[in-house]
Amino acid sequence: MPATKKLMVIGGIFLFLLFILSFPLYSKQKSELLENYLTYVLSIGAEGVPSEYLIVRNIGIDRMTVDNENNIYIFDETRIKVYDQNGKAKAIIGSPGQGPGEFYPSGLTNPSQITVGPTGFVTALNNGAIRCYNVYDNKYRYIDLIFKTPRISGTQYFFKAFALNPNEYIGINQADEKKDKYLYRTFSIEYLKNNKNSVIVSYTKPINVIKGGSHMSISYLGNLYYDILPGRRIVYTHSRIDELEDASGRYYIIHIYNLDTGEKNQFKIKSNPVFLTEEELKTGGGYAGGGSGDFDAVKDDLLKMRTDYLKKNNIKTHELIQRIFFDGTIAYVETRNRKGIGSEKSYYLMEIVDIEKGTIVQSIYRPSSGVKFDKDKKPLLFIILAIKNGYIYTTSSNPEGYPVVDKYKIDPKVYGK
């Protein structure tokens, strides 16, 4: 074999090995799947607090968060109500209005997307005529507006943002662009330091098929999830684009980016795909709307365009990740795998991933819809609001029917302890 050709072959093998090594493979720990892993601690927002701390509205996923000291932040009545780890009233941040540190009244019906950064700075979406985030320091004093952009524009910030300090922020930029018969959406995780933006990563996907003034969502193309890890690192994954399939199976990929060094790492976890049903492939169950009143006339055309796109791109399964929660260096990855489908008690499989090691340390079941709470507050149905410091926070109602946040302790066995 000529020397040049030998070098090409050796070089090709080297590149292949480098690619394989950049995606270390980890097998699932063969431990028993846990079902009874939570212990009820307390309910927050209905008893033992002053009237201004009572929760009035039902609590959505992005309307609540928890900080490193287990203080609870709930967006309610166009302000943030803060409770300590025992559910006692602690502070109220902001108020209705359009001044500095206030929340535009539309926040009554829109997610506020609250976060608390590693230094204790609080950010929350101010969903007024200008989309932006209010920033408060660790004493809850207003300090700034960040990611300001008009609500009606090609680029909007819809997702959570983190304040690291008064001059350093992380957020997601969303930009839309129409091309041919599709509306494409680009999601970028951006790092803002001293008013200078840099993009950490971007993902682009089509979200709608379009005909005339009507459109229909394509569905099943995934979402971008991210959070902040200790050591000024960003963890992120896109639940469709960050998937890999080879002869050994399907994998989801989780990325880690170091803000200080720019170093990027990633690992992959094998997971079982769940195939879309014929009904899901035909209808999608996603939002469909008409822009000019002609939707009914073109509905069949839009459905065909949508089906053709899924077929052309070989999309036959749900995304491997249905939702992901981060608790420090632990990721709770909710998959589409279920047991008890169609029964009174249906459960989703959640994989507990150690981000530092890139391994699954345990698997648990999360109850899905159709299952009820029992009298002992055993969580037979819950929507996860947050997971922090070994606690899961869910939402329900107290005996009088008022909204509450329920706090549960996670059994250490979930972490392999």
Model confidence pLDDT, tens digit, residues 289-334 = 555 556 667 888 888 999 999 999 999 999 999 999 999 999 999 9
Instruction: Tell me the pLDDT band of 109, cut-offs 50, 70 and 90.
Output: low
Strand pairing of 243-246 and 72-75? Answer: unpaired
Pairwise CA distance, residues 402 & 55, whole Å: 7
pLDDT (tens digit, 9 = 90+) per residue, 376-411?
555 544 678 999 999 999 888 888 888 899 999 998
CA distances to 207, 276, 283, 298, 316 from 310, rounded to whole Å, are: 12, 11, 12, 19, 7
CB-count burial class (<10 Å; 0-12, 13-18, 19+) for 34: middle
* pLDDT value at residue 181: 93
Instruction: Return the pLDDT at 21.
Output: 40
Contact criterion met (CB below 8 Å) for 133 and 145: yes
* Short-list 109, 107, 158, 116, CA closest to 136: 116
Mean pLDDT on 147-167: 69
For residues 146 and 127, is the Cβ–Cβ distance under 8 A? no
| Element (DSSP H or E) covering residue 133 | strand 130-136
For 30, the token pair is 């063969």
Model confidence pLDDT, tens digit, residues 277-299: 888 887 754 555 555 556 667 88
On the question of pLDDT at 153 being above 60, the answer is no
More confident residue, 110 or 137: 137
Q: What is the mean pLDDT of residues 96-116?
A: 79
Q: Identify the three-state secondary structure at position 266.
A: strand
Take residue 391 and report the two structure tokens written for it: 């606690």
What pLDDT score does 54 carry? 95
Q: What is the mean pLDDT of residues 13-19?
A: 38
Task: Find the mean pLDDT for residues 180-207.
Answer: 93
User: 2-7 long-range CB contacts below 8 Å, 24 or more apart?
Assistant: none
Contact 234, 316 (CB under 8 A): no
Q: Which two tokens stand for residue 260?
A: 């200080």
d(CA 349, CA 332): 10
Instruction: Give the CA-trace dihedral at 228, 231, 233, 236, to 10 degrees.
Output: -50
Q: How far apart are CA 149 and CA 184, in angstroms?
A: 19
- Give, as one character, the DSSP assignment of residue 101: T
Residue 337: name the closest of 28, 24, 23 by CA.
Answer: 28
**How far is Cα 262 from Cα 318, in angstroms, rounded to an integer?**
32
Q: Let me know: does 162 contact 115? Beta carbons within 8 Å.
A: yes
On the 0-12 / 13-18 / 19+ scale of CB atoms within 10 A, 397 is middle
Sign of torsion over alpha carbons 132, 287, 395, 272: negative
Strands 214-217 and 196-211, sheet pairing: antiparallel
User: Which amino acid, residue 135?
Assistant: V
Residue 99 CB partners (closer than 8 Å, separation 6+): none
Identify the pLDDT of residue 154.
43
Please report, for residues 74, 145, 308, the alpha-carbon distance to residue 80 in angstroms, rounded to integers and kept in the order given: 5, 16, 45
Joined tokens for residue 360:
């699954």
User: What domains appear along the chain, each with residue ranges and CATH number?
Assistant: 45-319 (2.120.10)
What local confidence, expressed as pLDDT, does residue 400 receive?
Answer: 83
Mean pLDDT, the chain, integer? 82
Residue (of 155, 320, 366, 312) closest to 222 by Cα position = 320
pLDDT band at 345 (very low <50, low <70, confident <90, very high): low
Count how many Cα atoms sit within 13 Å of the Cα of residue 110 in the half-sphere of its side chain: 15
Residue labelled with tokens 């991933």: 353
Higher pLDDT, residue 10 or 284? 284
Strands 72-75 and 130-136: unpaired
Which contacts qualify for 100-105: CB closer than 8 Å, 24 or more apart?
Answer: 100/142, 100/145, 101/134, 101/136, 101/142, 102/126, 102/134, 103/78, 103/79, 103/127, 103/128, 103/134, 104/78, 104/128, 104/129, 105/78
pLDDT value of residue 155: 47
Distances (CA, A) of 161 to 113, 173, 342: 8, 10, 38
